């Protein structure tokens, strides 16, 4: 069983400027989600970071919310949290595969995401993995996001906007002559 194995854990990264993360959680199984969030918050705070928290209906909505925030808000990284427990239908496979794939694609676009969406066979597995004092998968997801933020800051270039930038005279025309 993986819980009895010893795993190497990277040292917590340090930051000159505190990172700001968005925790996106699907609280379908509220008690499990609460444990995941507790672990993520503790890890972010231990690294000197700050966080906001939003809830979405289910695991499939987690990457959509992260994608929106990645495009429209000012977060350094994201923590995806939730739990999918196998049921009687193939819906489990769809939710697990599609949420994971979407998070991976966002990461490949530059979003620093720690994926803490549990995909388990039963409630007992979920509880063991979510418990902040146990396997602490929420804390592990936050740690992953923090490590990616540290890498992006180490290797990062200044972010440039995509699209065109109007010339100064176009700005004057658009603002009625007054340049802002």
> How many helices (H) and strands (E) would you count in the chain?
6, 4
Catalytic residue among 7, 51, 91, 147: 91
Q: How many CB atoms lie within 10 A of CB 64?
A: 14
Q: CA angle, corner 140, sides to 138 and 142, nearest 5?
A: 70
What is the per-residue burial (b if ≥16 Cβ within 10 Å, else e) of 43-54?
A: bbeebebebeee
45 close to 1: Cβ distance less than 8 angstroms: no
Active site residue 91: yes
What's the CA gap between 59 and 94, in Å, rounded?
11
The catalytic site residues sit at 91
């Amino acid at each position: 069983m993986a819980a009895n194995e010893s795993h190497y854990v990277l040292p917590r990264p340090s930051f000159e400027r505190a990172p700001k993360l968005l925790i996106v959680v699907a609280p379908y199984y509220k008690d499990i989600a609460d444990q995941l969030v507790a672990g993520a918050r503790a890890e972010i705070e231990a690294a000197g970071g700050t966080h906001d928290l939003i809830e979405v209906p289910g695991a499939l909505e987690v990457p959509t919310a992260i994608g929106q925030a990645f495009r429209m808000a000012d977060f350094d990284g994201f923590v995806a949290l939730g739990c999918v427990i196998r049921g009687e239908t193939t819906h489990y496979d769809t939710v697990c595969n599609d949420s994971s794939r979407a998070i991976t694609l966002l990461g490949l676009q530059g979003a620093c995401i720690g994926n803490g969406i549990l995909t388990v066979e039963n409630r007992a597995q979920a509880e063991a993995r979510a418990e902040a004092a146990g396997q602490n998968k929420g804390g592990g997801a936050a740690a992953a996001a923090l490590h990616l933020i540290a890498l992006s800051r180490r290797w990062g270039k200044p972010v440039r906007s995509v699209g065109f930038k109007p010339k100064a005279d176009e700005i004057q025309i658009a603002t009625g002559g007054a340049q802002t």
